[in-house]
Structure 1
Amino acid sequence: MADSRHWMAVLALAVTLPAQAGLFDDAEARKEIIRIRDGHNARLEALEAGSRAQLELSNQIEILKAEVSRLRGEVELLSHDMEAVTKRQKDFYVDLDARLRRLEGGGTLAGPIDPAAESRDYENALNLLKAGKYADAASGFDAFVAAYPSSSFLPSAHFWAGSAALQAKDIARASQHFNTVVNQWPDDPRAPDALLGVANCQRALGERRLEQKTLKTVMERYPDSAAAKSAKQRLGS
């Protein structure tokens, strides 16, 4: 009888052990699956975050490239203006010398002979701008515009006055000068950057819808300009 009960216990244990082993195997397998899935999800999230950061960095780099291109254009314009001033002064002195020779020969000195003051005042304002004295430069260009309303430098004077005023945080004054260039000299080489300056003023005032509208206008009117490239990058950011 005792032997019979012993063998029955052994038989029951033999039956239950595989079942328990199967339960343990299933639980471990589920844990391993969950661990692998969590690890995969974490890696996927890390990759997505890295891709987003890389895309944002790429966009910022393109915006900076467009801004550098625009600033190079402004430097070229500034250099061109300085060359124009130098040439104007040289032409003036050649003309003055010719007039004096005629006067010495018994002729008369007709008409005004002092465009040198115009060139000097314009150059002084440019030098203030180059020195980073923006408020003084804006005032200098304002004085120039008032003193020489028929000057060939007038479009440039208004443009640089706007740029100086914007740097000095005088937004209304800057906008007025930029709009003057855009409206009165739409075909001037400075017109694209002047229109972009209008957008910069709108941005400074928090007028985002107007800024975006102006940026689109820059692209439509001056599609091949550096200003249009900068506007495109800003609209895409």
Structure 2
Amino acid sequence: MESRSAARRPGSLHLLAMVLMVAAFGSRYAHAGLFDDDEARHQIKELSIKTNDRLDIIAKGQIELANQIQALREENSRLRGQVETLTYELEAARKRQQDFYVDLDGRLRKLEPQPASSTEARPADEGRPQADAPRKVASDPAAETREYEAALNLFRANKLKEAASAFETFAKAHPDSALAPSAYYWLGNAQYSLRDCKKAIDAQRLLASKWPAHPKAPDALLNVATCQQELADAKGAKTTLETLVAKYPDSTAAATARQRLKK
């Protein structure tokens, strides 16, 4: 009996050792599984916190962006209002300047020599046409004045295309009229207002070259320089301003030309 018990003891001990090992492994795996669940919960919690923080940052960024957009809209509205105001003031200033020059034109014409009337008495021998002399149509100062005033009224009414056409027609129909220089002057101004600087230069140059002693000649050269500057012809504008100062040193236009040459 003792021998059999002794024989069975090693097997029992071996079996017990196996059971203890399995229990130990099972306990370890159970602990590891419990640890993995806690770690996962912790990571999920941290991820949730980070996600919420990012969402808060994005929300704040969107609010700031919306505020900036609204501020830009308000600033744009304010600037648009300023532009409209400045445009109105510029147009009003241009109209005042236009009215000033029209009034000045009327005053200057009173100082200009008037052409002799066709009805003025002539000697008997001068009244008879000669056979070899070309017949010249007599001018009518009153009719010329009406035509000129009609063109000037179009310019005053800001009907620039019609005014330019009327002044050009007048200048071609009455090239020797005392009002022809003024017609070319206003033709140039109308073309400039229509943003046609090349035609404006042609009209003003014709006035300055054909009637250099006319009161509007200095202003015509100043207008030429202005157009040249707008056409990016800085060298030509400088030459014109220097010519203006040399030919008409005491004119108001020359004073303006000196200021421009200093810049």
TM range (shorter): 0.5 to 0.7
Offset at 1:113? Answer: 7.8
Q: What residue in structure 2 maps to residue 119 of structure 1?
A: 145
Q: For the Cα contact (< 8 Å) 1:218–1:228, is it kept in 2?
A: yes
Unaligned runs of 5+ residues in structure 1 are 1-69, 100-110
Q: How does 1:24-103 map to 2 (within 5 A)?
A: 74-75=101-102, 77-80=104-107, 83=110
Q: How does 1:140-159 map to 2 (within 5 A)?
A: 140-159=166-185
- The code of the aligned residue for 1:230 comes to T
Spell out, residue by residue over 1:47-94, the C-alpha distance to the aligned partner (whole angstroms, 9 max, x if none).
xxxxxxxxxxxxxxxxxxxxxxx9898455312256579x97xx97xx
Q: For the Cα contact (< 8 Å) 1:82–1:123, is it kept in 2?
A: no
Offset at 1:202? Answer: 0.6
Q: Which has the higher contact order (CA 8 A, sep 6+)?
A: 1
Aligned to 1:201, which of 227, 233, 238? 227
1:221 aligns with 2:247: yes
Distance 1:117 1:203, change over 3 A: same
Distance 1:196 1:151, change over 3 A: same
- The code of the aligned residue for 1:163 comes to N
1:167 aligns with 2:202: no
Q: Distance in 1 between matches of 2:168 and 2:187?
A: 7
Distance 1:145 1:220, change over 3 A: same
Secondary structure of 1:224's counterpart equals: coil
- The code of the aligned residue for 2:234 comes to R
Total equivalences in the alignment: 154
**Larger Cα-atom Rg:** 2
Q: Distance in 2 between matches of 1:132 and 1:142?
A: 16
Spell out, residue by residue over 1:74-118, the C-alpha distance to the aligned partner (whole angstroms, 9 max, x if none).
455312256579x97xx97xx87x99xxxxxxxxxxx85843321
Secondary structure of 2:178's counterpart equals: coil
Distance 1:71 1:192, change over 3 A: farther
RMSD of aligned C-alpha atoms? Answer: 3.3
Q: What residue in structure 1 maps to residue 261 of structure 2?
A: 235
Q: For the Cα contact (< 8 Å) 2:245–2:258, is it kept in 1?
A: yes
Unaligned runs of 5+ residues in structure 2 are 1-96, 122-136
The percent of aligned pairs where both chains have the same amino acid is 39
Q: TM-score, normalised by structure 1?
A: 0.56
Q: For the Cα contact (< 8 Å) 1:222–1:228, is it kept in 2?
A: yes
76-85 vs 150-159, which moves further: 76-85
Spell out, residue by residue over 1:113-163, the C-alpha distance to the aligned partner (whole angstroms, 9 max, x if none).
843321111001111122222222111100101111221111111111111
